[in-house]
Chains A and B, each alone.
Chain A
Amino acid sequence: MSGPAAVSALVEARGVVKRFGGLTAVHRLDLTLWDGEILGLIGPNGAGKTTLFNLLSGQFAPDSGEILLEGREIQRLPSHRICRLGLARTFQVPRPFLALTVSESVLVGAQFGGRVAGTSASETADRCIALTRLEPRRSAPVHSLNLAERKRLDLARALATRPRVLLVDEVAAGLNPTEVRETVGILREVHASGIGIIYVEHVMEAVMDISDRVHVLDHGATIAIGTPGEVTRDPAVIEAYLGRSAGS
């Protein structure tokens, strides 16, 4: 299902390797996010999903391989440069700036990551606060937010940097079904505004629901790529990952 030739790659990882001591967390991985798509990234615990996010967003540098953002090599750039080039992320466990209010936190993204002239940082922040349904909490200190709100705040802060690509790390984990539906709705809106998304998630209904393609990792390597329907029927995937729940 890789897009037609006219569609360009937003993010491309080529032969990326990351080792921690003797452990190879990501092993010669190739991954592509096409323009206009939502790519689900799944795999059992320890498959290397979050490590891959840390590599793509510049938290770590890969030991070898290349990472391209809109055709430009970024694997040696620091996080803030990658953010300003248009790749933003959320964190598996939200990482709020506890001393700030909601609107100040989002303003951090808007003031430091923003790259579009014309609209002011506070307009951008307001738009992202509205999009993530945080308006009623905009003046609240961040430490007073619950988990669902903190996850949406992470999302709002990332969106305020005006990314072309958004890496979403388990934004539905730990939420109740209503909150999951709301969050998926927000991601759809984000996607509709022209942002490509790589979505790591353990909540299968969420990731299978909105992904155009799903990329499955196990032990740091690709074991399947395809539509949600294809990967769930893939024997390798069933064995590595879905096998247990399918067999029960």
Chain B
Amino acid sequence: MSSFTRRHLLLGVGALGGLALIAPLLLANPYSSRLAQLLFMNILLASAWNLVGGFAGQISFGNASLFGVGAYATSMLWLAGFHPFLTMPVAALLAALYGVAWGWPCLRLRGPYFAIATIGVAEATRIVANHIEAAGGASGLTLPLEQDLGPVLLYALGAVLAVAAVLVSAAVRRSRLGLGLIALREDAQAAAASGVNVARQQVTVFAVTAALTGLAGGYYAVFTLYIVPEKVFGFDLSISLVLMVLVGGIGTVMGPVLGAGIYLFLEQFVLASLADIHLAAFGALLIFIILLEPRGAAPRVAQFVRLIRRRFG
């Protein structure tokens, strides 16, 4: 159990370098730029969800409530004249505060009870957001189009956020916090009897989940330039995160990254012509995966990488 190492930082820098190298490809046209932005956002969201869902085993269907808070924080501050980059830390902070506010009581529940509570919180948040006139009510907020950051800056911001989320995930996995989370996921009573403060561990990691999810919301606002409560607080968004992580590999560091990619690919290419049916198709895929490969794609991919290394390395 070594702690977060220099190797991770090197990998992070390497990933950013790689993303910089392929940037010209992805920035070739507005559509591919948007795909890159969505991919970065999904990686950020899925990695954040996996911290509490995968490591602590607490399945949240309510992360949209945190995403929305981040999106609104960034949008309102931007409209008030602050630079979008400066709004990001505020989006993270407010989402973390909101996450702790409802996570603290809800995380006392475990398993399906927690999952149901998160749906309640997120739906209540969505309904309230629809009625706050100061924030645009149900028609949402339109952001200053003329201040668009431009594709290059948005790409860079997304890449940094996504890589940072994966590094945070790797750091948590190898930390004392991560060990405690896995212990309480496996047996909360036995973990408590071994000295693990179950409530505090969960709230701590949920604050990190919420902060990263809020950042994703802020990023979304900055690249779409238009937010409405039905979208940023929407149940679809919460569900999609669960799907991404389950498909990619729950409780692993790279699973959410894989899942984010697979989800985007299906949504954009395979199912684009079928409009909203992609969620149903994704549900079918999920059932398929749970039956055949309950741990998701990540373990298989890791196996494949090891095989390749042995053959060529």
Contact = CB atoms under 8 A, between A and B. Distances in A.
Nearest to B182: A99
Contacts of B194: 80, 83, 88, 108-109, 112-113, 157-158, 160-161
Contacts, number: 82
A84 interface: yes
A123 to B, nearest CB: 13
A1 B182 CA distance: 44
Interface string B169-211: 0000000100110110111011111111110000000000000
Interface string A125-169: 000000000000000000000000000000001101100000000
A59 B180 contact: no
Contact of B191 (A99, A108, A114, A160): A108
B186 to A, nearest CB: 4
B192 A97 contact: no
Interface in B194-235: 194-198
B275 interface: no
A59, A99, A112, A160, most chain B CB atoms within 10 A: A112
A204 B193 CA distance: 27
Interface of B: 1, 176, 179-180, 182-183, 185-187, 189-198, 251
B187 A111 contact: no
Contacts of B195: 80, 83-84, 108-109, 112-114, 161
A95 B197 contact: no
Interface in A32-60: 57-59
Contacts of B183: 97, 100, 105, 108
A79 interface: yes
B198 A80 contact: yes
A79 B193 contact: yes
Which 10 residue pairs across A and B have the least CB separation, nearest first? Answer: A113-B195, A112-B195, A79-B192, A95-B190, A97-B186, A83-B195, A109-B194, A108-B183, A112-B196, A80-B197
Q: Specify the main secondary structure of chain B where it touches its partner.
A: helix
B190, B191, B192, B251, most chain A CB atoms within 10 A: B190
A109 B191 CA distance: 8
A25 B188 CA distance: 24
A108 B196 contact: yes
10 contacts: A57-B193, A59-B189, A78-B197, A80-B194, A89-B193, A96-B186, A99-B182, A108-B180, A111-B179, A111-B180
A241 interface: no
B220 to A, nearest CB: 33
A197 B157 CA distance: 58
Contacts of B176: 111-112
A80 B186 contact: no
A99 B56 CA distance: 12
A32 B186 CA distance: 33
A97 B196 contact: no
A88 B193 contact: yes
A91 B197 contact: no
Interface string A91-111: 100011111100011011101
A158 B195 CA distance: 9
Contact of B193 (A59, A99, A104): A59
Contacts of A79: 189, 192-193
Contacts of B1: 104, 107, 122
A57 B194 CA distance: 10
Given A108-B195, A111-B176, A112-B197, 13 more contacts: A58-B192, A78-B197, A79-B189, A80-B192, A84-B195, A97-B186, A99-B186, A107-B179, A108-B179, A108-B180, A109-B195, A111-B179, A160-B194
Contacts of B187: 95-97
